[in-house]
Amino acid sequence: MSQSSQLWTNLDQIFVLLQHWVESFFPVWLQPAIGTVLGVIAIVAAFPGIFALTTVLERKGLGRMQNRLGPNRVGPLGILQPVADGIKSLTKEDIVPLTADGAVHFLAPVVLVIAVFLGFAVLPVGRNMVLANLDAGLLFFFAIGASTELSIFMAGWSSRNKYSLLGAMRAVAQMISYEVPLLLSSVVVVMITGSLSTVKIVEAQSGFTGIFPHWYVFTPWGFAGFVLFVIAALAETNRSPFDLPEGESELVAGYFTEYSGFKFALFFLGEYLAMLSIAGFAITLFLGGWGAPLSGLSILPSWAWFFAKLFCAIALFIWLRGTLPRLRQDQLMNFAWKFMLPMSLLNLLVAGAWRFFGEGWVRWGVCSAVLLLAYVLLGRVLMRHQHLGARSYRYAD
Amino acid sequence: MIFGLSIVFVLTSILTVAGALAAALLKNLVHCALSLTVTFAGLALLYLQLDAQFAGFSQILVYIGAVAILVVFAILLTRGAGVPEYRNFSSSWLAGLAIAAGVFALLAWAVIKSLPASAASSAAPQVSVQQIGLALMSNYVLPLEIVAVLLTVALIGAVIVAMPESQKSKTESAQGGGK
Amino acid sequence: MTPLAAFLIVAALVFAIGLAISLTRRNAILVLIGIELMLNAANLNLIAFWRFGPHPEALTGMMFAIFSIAVAAAEAAVGLGLVIAYHRHKKTTDLDAMTRMKG
């Protein structure tokens, strides 16, 4: 192997080599445990760091989209704003209402943060860089994601506040409704790959035909699945345009109205980390994980590609937040049950047909045609009562 | 190792049984539901210790992610004024407790009497999700289809049972009852 | 005590507590919680016997437990729907008062 390619391989595996080097200082029986501890430290250090960067990017991005500057006082271009926010939230008084249920009120943000951090364990950040190579990794992630709904309910109920309870019930109803399309659109990937393990899913997408990668997003069912997954992911993490449960103009602050200081910061952290982990899963399932977009570029480190794609996904989420108006609760639920569920079921059928047809141009044509036809027909059927003209607003019914 | 059992098992089973006891004894209904969730989580950990990973993750997904939330929603939708107007325990609570204690005594006696004293530790079965999928599609395809029909029927049935009556049928039943 | 016996005792304990909840508490939803605990205890029994039994590669115990989880979820949905429907009529969830099915 030539010198330069050996150098690039080492750069690709640099964190793995670092882990082995630290492990070598310990006796053999302790090494697996030390390896796991190092992985956990890396996750706990890296992802909250990305969270801090995301908050700045979001505020500046939203500011620019709304024709104003974002925060620009703290540090050059406002980069150190998260540090100021952190200090503020740590030093603010922790107010708990007198009639609030003390134990549950305290445990809600803890449960959220624990559940969200657990979800990062099966995310393959780079080649050979996953904390737990579980055989049922995807099932683990969705199971842990389902547990976050309970913490939101705990927060809303324990505050003994009508706004909180209403926000919590709305949020839980929304999260449960969108869980079904989320799971169904990821089942398509499992069907084609034949495994629930995230590592195997990424490896199945690491081939190239010519210079184009075998990412699932470049297939008809993969593209539909990706769009459905992203929309469902936005709804699962209560991001705009699905952020009615925490809409500031509606419900004060929804289910975390009564939280202040560090507990509010924990909720904030939990929400953003959930967004990061589900974006990471969208990348793993559809965008090829740590694979490079063109075959010549696969010389660059795998973890660099993963984080580049993660930043693109974050930018997409911030863009959607800045441009789309908020959906009303009934519009939201209609969208989930009447549009996304039939589309994701149809996507399952299309993926089965894809496998059935075998290699060739036939399957591309048939699958794309079926999906496009279904999209157009479903849209027309659901919107048949709307009289849309030149100056009518589509959702003002 | 306590009594030849691993420390993880002892802690997990204490968590599970404590959650179940809390669900039995607490006054506040939502606290009971949340301690039920702790019991479910403890049981999922016990499944993971028994090398049944698929069952453990399904337990978390279905029970904690769906059944616990269902229970909590039902509690919220059937709240009266917030404080229950009746006592917590039924008037025949002693009989119920005696029956439960009797059942536990019987089961524990059966377990302790019938198993050999020495631990014949068998190797952990290597179950992959692919094997489960193949088994579901070959040996267990009939139960799979029946469960699919059952879930659909339960979904439709629960919606119909819990749906508010339409106004027309309400006035009809009021007229029929008044005659 | 063998590991199998320990798991079975824990399952028996959870079952007995679920039975006690179903028999002694007055709220209808708590009775359903008790039923869920009993089903879970039975699942634990199934998986423990699968793990320590003679043919774990046949997957019988785990399949049974997975189907039991699905059926229990369906039954919880229908049972809670019934409780909600009753509450809509009589405005109570007190089991000692649910003596008549009229109405």
What dihedral angle (degrees, nearest 10) is formed by the CA atoms of A388, A391, A392, A394? Answer: 80
Say what the pLDDT of residue A86 is: 86
CB contact under 8 A, B73 and A169: yes
Half-sphere exposure of A338 (CA within 13 A, CB side): 13
CB A153 within 8 A of CB B72: yes
List all chains that touch chain B, counting a touch as 3 or more CB pairs closer than 8 Å. A, C
In this predicted structure, the answer to whether residue B109 has a pLDDT above a threshold of 90 is: yes
Q: How far is B173 from chain A (nearest CA, A)?
A: 31
Write out pLDDT tens, residues B122-150.
677 778 888 889 988 898 999 999 999 99
Instruction: Give per-residue burial for A289-327: e unless 16+ CB within 10 Å, then b.
Output: bbbbbeeeebeebbbebbbebbeebbeebbebbeeeebb
Half-sphere exposure of B68 (CA within 13 A, CB side): 29
In this predicted structure, the answer to whether residue C3 has a pLDDT above a threshold of 50 is: yes
Least confident span in B156-160, B167-171, C86-90: B167-171
In this predicted structure, the answer to whether residue B175 has a pLDDT above a threshold of 60 is: no
CB contact under 8 A, C26 and B17: no
Distance of CA A259 to the CA centre of its chain: 24
In this predicted structure, the answer to whether residue A85 has a pLDDT above a threshold of 50 is: yes
Distance of CA A394 to the CA centre of its chain: 28
Instruction: Give the DSSP H or E segment for A245.
Output: none
User: From CA A247, how far away is CA A396, in angstroms rounded?
Assistant: 18
DSSP helix/strand/coil, A358: coil
In this predicted structure, the answer to whether residue A252 has a pLDDT above a threshold of 70 is: no
Q: How far is C73 from chain B (nearest CA, A)?
A: 6
User: From CA C8, how far away is CA B111, in angstroms rounded?
Assistant: 7
Mean pLDDT for B20-43 is 92
Mean confidence (pLDDT) of chain A: 87
User: From CA A34, how far away is CA A42, in angstroms rounded?
Assistant: 12
Q: Tell me the residue length of chain A.
A: 397
CB contact under 8 A, A150 and B69: yes
List all chains that touch chain A, counting a touch as 3 or more CB pairs closer than 8 Å. B
CB contact under 8 A, C12 and B108: yes
Q: Any idea where the domains of chain C sit in the sequence?
A: 3-97
Q: Is the dihedral of CA A13, A136, A182, A286 positive or negative?
A: positive
Among A151, A121, A340, A374, CA closest to A233? A340
Residue A327 tokens read as: 């959906």
B170 vs A: CB within 8 A: no
C93 vs B: CB within 8 A: yes
Say what the pLDDT of residue A312 is: 94
Residues of C in contact with B91 (CB under 8 A): 96
Instruction: Give per-residue burial for B118-148: e unless 16+ CB within 10 Å, then b.
Output: ebeeeeebebebeebeebbeeebeebbeebe
User: From CA A20, how far away is CA C49, in angstroms rounded?
Assistant: 40
Helices marked H in B50-166 — which ranges? Answer: 53-59, 68-77, 93-114, 129-138, 141-162
The domain defined by C3-97 folds into: Helix Hairpins (1.10.287)
What number of C-beta contacts closer than 8 Å exist between B and C?
244
In this predicted structure, the answer to whether residue A102 has a pLDDT above a threshold of 50 is: yes
B73 vs A: CB within 8 A: yes
CB C52 within 8 A of CB B122: yes
CB contact under 8 A, B69 and A172: yes
Say what the pLDDT of residue A167 is: 82
Instruction: Give the DSSP H or E segment for A100.
Output: none
Angle, in degrees to the nearest 10, between helices A31-65 and A262-286: 100
| Substitution target from C17, C27, C43 for chain B, most B beta carbons within 10 A | C17
Instruction: Provide the strand spans (E) within chain A.
Output: 208-209, 212-213
CB contact under 8 A, C40 and B43: yes
CB A288 within 8 A of CB A206: yes
In this predicted structure, the answer to whether residue C20 has a pLDDT above a threshold of 90 is: yes
Which one is predicted more confidently, A207 or A309? A309
CB contact under 8 A, A139 and B69: no
Mean confidence (pLDDT) of chain B: 84
- Band (pLDDT 50/70/90 cuts) for residue C91 is confident
Q: Tell me the residue length of chain C.
A: 103
CB B87 within 8 A of CB C97: no
Minimal-distance CA residue of chain B relative to A143: B61
CB contact under 8 A, A150 and B68: yes
Residues 6+ apart with CB under 8 A from B96: B90, C19, C20, C22, C23, C24
- Percent of residues, chain B, with pLDDT higher than 70: 82
CB B38 within 8 A of CB B22: yes
User: From CA A206, how far away is CA A204, in angstroms rounded?
Assistant: 6
C98 vs B: CB within 8 A: no
Find residues 52-71 of chain B whose CB sits inside 8 Å of chain A. Answer: 53-54, 57-58, 60-61, 64-66, 68-69
CB B23 within 8 A of CB C37: yes
- Band (pLDDT 50/70/90 cuts) for residue C41 is very high
Which of B3, B119, B154 faces C74 most closely, judged by CB atoms?
A: B154
- Band (pLDDT 50/70/90 cuts) for residue B179 is very low
User: From CA A63, how far away is CA A59, in angstroms rounded?
Assistant: 6
Minimal-distance CA residue of chain C relative to B177: C103
Write out pLDDT tens, residues A14-71.
888 888 888 888 888 888 889 999 999 999 999 999 999 999 999 999 999 999 888 8
Q: How far is A194 from chain B (nearest CA, A)?
A: 8
| Domains in chain B, CATH or no CATH each | 1-81 (1.20.120.1200), 127-179 (no CATH)
Q: How far is B128 from chain A (nearest CA, A)?
A: 7
Minimal-distance CA residue of chain A relative to B72: A153
Residues of B in contact with A176 (CB under 8 A): 66, 69
Residues of A in contact with B54 (CB under 8 A): 136, 139
In this predicted structure, the answer to whether residue B177 has a pLDDT above a threshold of 50 is: no
- Band (pLDDT 50/70/90 cuts) for residue A7 is confident
Q: Any idea where the domains of chain A sit in the sequence?
A: 3-323
Helices marked H in A262-301 — which ranges? Answer: 262-286
- Band (pLDDT 50/70/90 cuts) for residue B169 is low
Residues of B in contact with A145 (CB under 8 A): 65
Say what the pLDDT of residue B2 is: 62
Which of B34, B69, B76 faces A104 most closely, judged by CB atoms?
A: B34
Residue A226 tokens read as: 């990706």
C95 vs B: CB within 8 A: yes
